Structure 1
Amino acid sequence: MKNTIEEIKKNLDALNSRADNMEERISNVEDGNIELLQAEKEREARLKRNEETLRELSDTIRRCNVRIIGIPEGEEKEKGAESLFKEIMAENFPNLVREMDLQVTEANRSPNFINARRPTPRHIVVKLAKVNDKEKILRTARQKKLTYKGTPIRLSADFSAETLQARREWNDIFKNLKDKNLQPRILYPAKISFKYDGENKNFPDKQKLREFI
Structure 2
Amino acid sequence: MFRHKDDRRPSLSQGPTESGSDSEGYDPTEEQTPLTKEDLRRMLRETSDDIKAYTTAALEKQIAGLKEDIEALASRTSHTEKRLTDTQAATTQHSRAIETLQERVLYLEDGLEDLNNRSRRQNIRIRGLPESIQPEAILPTVQAIFQSILPDTSEQERYIERAHRALRPPAFNLNAPRDVITKLLHFPIKERLMKAARDSPPIYQGHTLHFYQDLAPTTLKKRRDLQPLTTALMEKGWRYMWGHPFKLLVKKGDQTYTLHQVTDMQDFATHIGLSLRQPTPTADPSAENSRHSELRPRPPRQQTKPRPYTAPKGQLHMDN
Q: So what's the TM-score if we normalise by structure 1?
A: 0.78
Aligned residue number for residue 88 of structure 2:
30
For the pair 1:210 / 2:269, whether they are aligned, the reply is yes
Matched, 1:114 2:169: yes
Q: Aligned-pair distance for 1:77?
A: 4.8
Distance 1:118 1:189 in 2: 34
Which moved further from structure 2: 58-67 or 180-189?
180-189
Query: Corresponding residue for 1:86?
Result: 143
1:43 aligns with 2:98: no
Deviation for aligned residue 1:158:
0.8
Q: Give the 3-state SS of the residue equivalent to 1:142 in structure 2.
A: helix
Letter in 2 for 1:187: G
Q: State the alpha-carbon separation in 2 of the partners of residues 190 and 139 from structure 1.
A: 21
Shift of 1:193: 1.8
Report the count of equivalent residues.
206
SS in 1 for 2:230: helix
> How far does residue 17 in structure 1 lie from its aligned partner after superposition?
5.8
Q: SS where residue 74 of structure 1 aligns? A: coil
The answer to whether structure 1 residue 192 and structure 2 residue 248 are counterparts is yes
Decide which structure has the larger Cα Rg and report it.
2
8 Å Cα contact 1:185/1:192 also seen in 2: yes
- The answer to which structure, 1 or 2, has the higher relative contact order (CA under 8 A, 6+ apart) is 1
Counterparts of residues 85-104 of structure 1 (less than 5 Å): 85-91=142-148, 93=149, 96-99=150-153, 101-104=157-160
Is the aligned partner of 1:161 residue 2:217? yes
| Range moving further from structure 2, 178-187 or 155-164 | 178-187
1:152-198, Cα deviation, whole Å (9 max, x unpaired): 22101111211111122222321221222112222234322222013
- Relative distance call for 1:147 and 1:75 in structure 2 (3 A) is same
String of CA shifts for 1:8-58, please: whole Å, max 9, x gaps. Answer: 999988766655443322111101211222333333333333333332232
User: What runs of 5+ residues in structure 1 fail to find an aligned partner?
Assistant: none
| Matched residue, 1:54 | 112
Indicate if the aligned counterparts of 1:167 and 1:190 stay in contact, CA closer than 8 A.
Answer: no
Q: Where is the strand percentage greater, Structure 1 or Structure 2?
A: 1
Q: Distance in 2 between matches of 1:171 and 1:144?
A: 25
Query: What's the offset of the Cα at 1:211?
Result: 5.2
Cα deviation, residue 64, structure 1: 0.8
Aligned to 1:41, the other structure's residue is in SS state helix
Higher normalized helix content (fraction of residues): 1
d(CA) in 2 for partners of 1:41 and 1:134? 42
CA shift at 1:118, angstroms? 6.3
